[in-house]
Amino acid sequence: MKNVLLLTLVILSVLGCTEKTKYDVLPSVNWESIKWEHKLGDSLNTGSTYLSIYSQVYSTTEHKTHDLTATVSIRNINKRDTIFVKNANYYDTKGDLIRTYFETPIYIKPMQTIEIVINEKDKSGGTGANFVFDWLAAKNVHAPFFEAVMITTYGQQGLSFTTQGVSIDE
């Protein structure tokens, strides 16, 4: 019995020591596969959308927080028209740019959803993180719909909520 316990501890130690990427995050989208390589027409309407994200929320006091996984959905709610997103900029609580997810416009097909996942271990955004998206769409076409779902579990307790994007001036 001692040998089994010792072997289990050794295996868990080896598995726990593997090198992980920053925040242990894999890209949720292959941005290259949806990159728009052509010129975008001047006749397209432009817009910007703000989306609040919570990497952390306070619990009991301002000194205790819960870390959250955030799933950002970028949805094309049009049945026939493709839309374009020029950038997805992620900011922390202080308003400092953390990262830009793509620098070349991407396209989103009709009724398609793409997602950005902020790993629960990624605390860089803090309690007031947010995204700003700049996008393009043909006239008389619905703007993209931006939504986030934040979730975490502790033991048998769970916490989840959503936020929706708000149109802002460029």
**DSSP per-residue letters across 140-170:** TSPPPEEEEEEEEEETTEEEEEEEE-EEE--
Residue 16 inside a domain? The answer is: no
- Cα-based distances in Å from 98 to 46, 89, 122, 123: 24, 8, 11, 11
- Whole-number pLDDT of residue 19: 46
Query: Is residue 36 situated within a structural domain?
Result: yes
Q: Determine, yes or no, domain membership for 50.
A: yes
Number of domains in the chain: 1
Scanning 17-88, the segments in alpha helix (DSSP H) are none
Residue 13 lies in a domain: no
In tens digits, the chain (170 residues) has pLDDT values of 566 455 555 455 555 544 444 444 444 567 677 777 777 777 888 999 999 999 888 887 888 888 899 999 999 999 999 999 999 999 999 999 999 998 889 999 999 999 999 999 999 999 999 999 999 999 999 999 999 999 998 778 888 999 999 999 76
* Contact by Cβ (8 Å): 55, 129: yes
CATH of the domain at 136: 2.60.40
pLDDT of residue 105: 93
> Residue 135 to residues 85, 87, 89, 112, 140: CA-CA distances in angstroms?
4, 7, 12, 15, 14
What range does the domain containing 41 cover?
A: 26-168
Whether 9 maps to a domain, the answer reads no
- Quick check: 53 and 71 in contact, CB under 8 A? no
Radius of gyration of the chain (CA): 20
**Residues 138-169 as b or e (16 or more Cβ within 10 Å = b):** eeebebbbbebebebeeeeeeeeeebebeeee
In a domain, 78, yes or no: yes
Q: Is residue 38 part of a domain?
A: yes
Count the alpha carbons within 13 Å of 99 in the hemisphere toward its beta carbon: 8
In a domain, 11, yes or no: no
